[in-house]
Each structure stands twice: as structure tokens, then as C-alpha cells.
Amino acid sequence: MASIFFSSIQLLTDGGLATIKDIFQRQLPSATRERLLAMDNFTSPMARIDMPRDTVVDRFYTAAALGPKNVAVEKAGRIITYLALASSVKHVAHTVESLVPAGATVAVLADRSINWIVGIFGALAANTIYCPLDPSYSAEYRAGLLKRSTAKLLLVPNISDWRGPSNENVVILGIDQILAGNVDLAAWCQRLPGPHDKAYLCFTSGSTGKPKGVLCEHRGVAALHSSPTTRMHSQPGRRVAQFLAPGFDGSVHEILATLSFGGTLVLRKRDNDPFSHLTDVDVALLNPSVVAHMSPVDYPNLQQLYLGGEPVPQPIVDQWAPGRVLYNIYGPTETTVAVCLQRLHEKVPVNIGPPFPTVRIYILNDHLELQPPGTPGNIYIAGVQVGPGYLDMSDVTESEYRQDPFATWSEEERMYRTGDLGFWDELGNIHCCGRKDRQVKLGGYRINLETIAEVALQQMPQIRACVATVERQRIVLWLEPEDVSVSKLHQRLRTYLPPYAVPKMIRPIKSIPVNTYGKLDIKSLASGQEEETMELVLPGPDRGLQQASPMSGAYF
């Protein structure tokens, strides 16, 4: 920062610069700029869009050829080997090719069965776009996603279990029907995808509005899986859990990373019990809000645990890091699941780590200028993992994806605006400060709501989860469990937060709701959908805590 200050002073005395804007545009010393670009992965050849040469399907077939007798998928004691899985995939791909053209979207009912996995790779192997439909969605929501996906084919793992309505615009076919047929593949020339072809379509959770259909390509997935840590350490004999919601892109990562490198994908033993298989796996990817309700004592088998989809509270790190390898993984759906990863250690502050070699990450101000270390800015992601954009939303794609101004070697290199804020530290790690749309202005002060929740978690480790919202120009802090001492928390927040950022109400509840993707559902809290709790009123420092009429929180 000192070098930037002295550079600015020198520029102020330069008679050739006419405006303050000129000075700010040139205030970064060349050495600082070069260092930032090095941290950005600016020179990494692996991040360039023309680097990956293979696809998910190539890697899956290679894994099957190298270990045909290895177990590919397991569910409740039933297994399928790589040899049998590859054979089933080819049968489904053959049928898909006969029904839809290359590049079409194929929806698959994601019922967490082995046939679901067959359907995924059958769609990919036919050079079509896999789109998951989560059966836990309401019929109306599922029908809406199917329509928006433009899919003309819906694969159902078991046709006898299908309870959805018929659709004259969509062919509905059972995977079990396909596998029961007698198909001769001897003369079949398979229509395989290439690195630039689209691999899957996932709809965002809609946290900032209407869910958007995000497209990602084979080359982005191949780049993501370029190292053991980014592919969940998948290898023959390694057991990886499929835990995340099927409509969430994290589930695509679990499945593709495992089966592209010879690991064993372990599905739920019981469909209504999301934890039923976690004691039988080596690796899992979980949401921090889920882990907050678990104890590491119950899962000694977990050798590697990835936490993603939400900020990771320090108390969770301190509880789970001993005895296993714990990672914080970060990335938006639009940039192929994940772009940063950091090993987490007990009592060491959390960050999201450096970027993968396959991406470039810029932290820029509102004028798209590089921010120096320690200075927050907008997180932009560039490189081969950046997807082609949103399905049938060209205007939104154009506003969120733009040409990379730093990649002078190619006009086709693009960067994606994440909407997250962050900064570089001196070691080249990125610290994420939360969503830009989670900043509010109250009483003339700009306040980051995620910072309030982070301080609360740091000061009271017994808090499992918490979220700050704004109601009628007041900051409200929601937290679980409901027996947290509100008065103690309020005192600590007053110590560690500026007065204007201290919540005016604290609402302890039994459980903060989560959405279908397993993330804390901020929208439902903000809209007053919370469960009713007992109001706790702190009338003043010289009077005790009083219990009032049943409402929802403690006013200060």
C-alpha cells in the first residue's frame, strides 16, 4: 500500500496528467500490477480456452477400460461395475441418438438410483446436454423447469415409478425399458462429444431472482478435474458420497469427478435419509449449514471433507479439521462448479484460497481496474471454466459475461462477474467478503450483512448457523439453536461491531430453513416465513431479561 501511496504522490506532480481520474488509473506501480496478474494466474496456459483436449465421456470410458471390474456405483448393497455401467451407458446413448440431435437437452429424473447415473452418462455420451430434474420439486415447478430447459426427451430411471403427467412436446422414456431391449451395437458409430460441446444445464437457486439455466461445457469440466484435489481425490478404490441435491451443480461435480477417474460413487442407502451412506465413504462434499448439525465423532471414516456452497464458519473448521483433510471450495455455477480451494486448519482464519491453475481471477473496482492486495473489489472469473452463458437469456448473458480486457492474446477469452466481493492477501489467497447484493445502506452507513453473521459465529461457537436480514430499516439477526443466550450475544456484538451495524433484533429459532439446494434460505426469512418463537426484550442495562408475548426475537 505504501508503494501505491508514493506512486500517487509522484503522479500528482506529473504535469502530463490532466485529471484525478488519470492518476487513479495509473496509481498501481508496475511491479504491483505484475504481481497481481501473477496471482490472477494471468500467465497460466492451463486457464486458456483452447487447452483441454478431452471430455467427460473420454475420461469415463478410459476409467472403464482400465478397471472394468472395479465398482463404479453402489446403492444399499447393490453394485454395478465399470464394465456393466459402460455397456448400459452405450445402450442409452444409442437410443438417445435416435431420438434427438447432437446438442439437444435431455432431461433426466434424478431419483438417486443407479439408473439415474446411467441416464446421465447416456445423455453425455450421445453428445447431448444433461439436465437434472429433482423429483423432490413440486410437479408445477418441475414442469416449469422442463419447459424452460427446451428438452424434448425425458429419461426416467424406472418407468413404472413415473407419476408425472404426459407431455405431448416431450418424449418420456424409461431407462429400464431401454436396458431391457435387445439392441445390436456392433455397427453403431457413436456420436461422441468434443471439448467445446455443452455438457450439462443446471438451474440456479434463484437467490437473486428467477432461476437461470446455466450451461457448462466439457472442456470446463475437464479443466476443473485437472488435479487430484479438484476432482475429490477420485481414484480406484476411493469411495465418494453423492450427497448434494441433484439439481445443484455440486451433485454434477460429485458424479463426474468420481466416475471419470475410477472411483466408487456411493448413493444413499435410503432415499429419505440423506446421511444413510456417509459412514461408508472416504470423501464427501457438504454444505456448512448441514455439517453444523453433524458431529465428526460419528464419521471417523471421512478422510477428505469438502465444504462449499456457503461461507464456512470458523467454529465448524475448529471442530472438523482435526483428524481429516478439510477443504473450503468456492465457485459459482457459471464457472463450472468451483474455481478456488483452500485446505482448512484448526484455529487458522478461513479464506477461499488461490485460484485453480485452470482459471484467472481478477479483483476489480467498478471501473474494471485491478485492486491492490488488501483492498476489496468485485470478483471476476476468466478462463476455460467460464461457461457459454444462460439458456435463452442473451441479454442477461451479455451483462454478466464480458470480454476479458486483460487477455490481449484472444478476443474470445471472457470473464464472468460473480457478484461477490473479495480481496487478495499478501500470500496470494482470496478472502470472500460476501455478496455485493448483501450490502445495505442504513442511516448513511454501508453495512455488509454477511460480516455481522460472521462476527456472531466467531464470538459464540455454540451458534450452528445465523443470517442477518433487514426489516423496516432495522438489522435482524436470525440464529440457531433457539437456546443461545441472546443477551450475551448482544453484548459481544456491541464490542466487535460498530454501533450502526449492531442488530436491533436477535431471533433465535430452532432451525434456519434451507432451500432445495441445501443452502440457508435467506429469502424465506426476509419474507417473514420463519417459525414463531418467543420474544425476548432487553429494556435497559439496569433491568433484567424479561419474557414478553409470543413473537419472534429480542429487541434492543
In one-letter notation, the amino acid at residue 175 is I
Of the three residues 193, 214, 247, the one that is the final residue of a domain is 193
List the CATH number of the domain containing 172: 3.40.50.980
Shared domain for 6 and 60, answered yes or no, is: no
Mean pLDDT of 509-521: 79
Shared domain for 91 and 162, answered yes or no, is: yes
Shared domain for 29 and 122, answered yes or no, is: no
Residue 416, in any domain of the structure: no
Phi, psi at 25, each rounded to 5°: -70, -20
- Distance CA(553)–CA(483), nearest Å, equals 12
Residue 9: the pLDDT is 55
Which residue would you say has higher pLDDT here, 7 or 286? 286
- Distance CA(535)–CA(507), nearest Å, equals 8
- Distance CA(239)–CA(182), nearest Å, equals 33
Residue 128, in any domain of the structure: yes
430-435 vs 414-424, strand pairing mode: antiparallel
Per DSSP, what are the bridge partners of residue 240?
265, 283
Number of domains in the chain: 3
Q: Which of 62-66, 291-295, 361-365, 443-447 shows the lowest per-residue confidence on average (mean pLDDT)?
A: 443-447
Residue 503, in any domain of the structure: yes
List the CATH number of the domain containing 498: 3.30.300.30
In one-letter notation, the amino acid at residue 155 is L
**If DSSP codes are grouped into helix, strand and coil, which group holds residue 228?**
coil
Q: What is the pLDDT of residues 367-423, one digit of tens each?
A: 999 999 999 999 999 999 999 999 999 999 999 999 999 999 999 999 999 989 999
Residue 435: the pLDDT is 79
Shared domain for 13 and 110, answered yes or no, is: no
Residue 408, in any domain of the structure: no
Residue 385, in any domain of the structure: no
Shared domain for 17 and 117, answered yes or no, is: no
- Distance CA(400)–CA(394), nearest Å, equals 10
Residue 3: the pLDDT is 54
First to last CA, the chain: 39
Shared domain for 459 and 510, answered yes or no, is: yes
Shared domain for 102 and 65, answered yes or no, is: yes
The torsion of the CA quartet 77, 90, 255, 153, rounded to 10 degrees, works out to -110
Shared domain for 13 and 64, answered yes or no, is: no
Shared domain for 3 and 123, answered yes or no, is: no
Judge whether residue 43 has pLDDT over 90.
no
Shared domain for 32 and 109, answered yes or no, is: no
The three-state (H, E, C) secondary structure of 355-376, written as one string: ECCCCEEEEECCCCCECCCCCC
Residue 162: the pLDDT is 87
Task: Report the percent of the chain where pLDDT is more than 90.
Answer: 61
Shared domain for 31 and 117, answered yes or no, is: no
Residue 384, in any domain of the structure: no
Shared domain for 5 and 33, answered yes or no, is: yes
Residue 6: the pLDDT is 53
Residue 86: the pLDDT is 98
Which one-letter DSSP state was computed for residue 350? Answer: P
List C-alpha distances in Å: 554 to 322, 388, 484, 485, 513. 36, 47, 12, 11, 19
Residue 209, in any domain of the structure: no
- Distance CA(430)–CA(353), nearest Å, equals 5
pTM, whole model, 2 decimals?
0.82
Looking at every residue in the chain, the average pLDDT score rounds to 87
CB atoms < 10 A from the CB of 402, how many? 15
Report DSSP letters for 284-344, one per residue: EEE-HHHHTT--GGG-TT-SEEEEESS---HHHHHHHSTTSEEEEEE--GGGSS-SEEEEE
Q: What is the pLDDT of residues 446-489, one digit of tens each?
A: 688 888 888 898 888 888 888 888 888 889 999 998 888 898 99
Residue 475's domain comprises 439-522
Residue 28, in any domain of the structure: yes
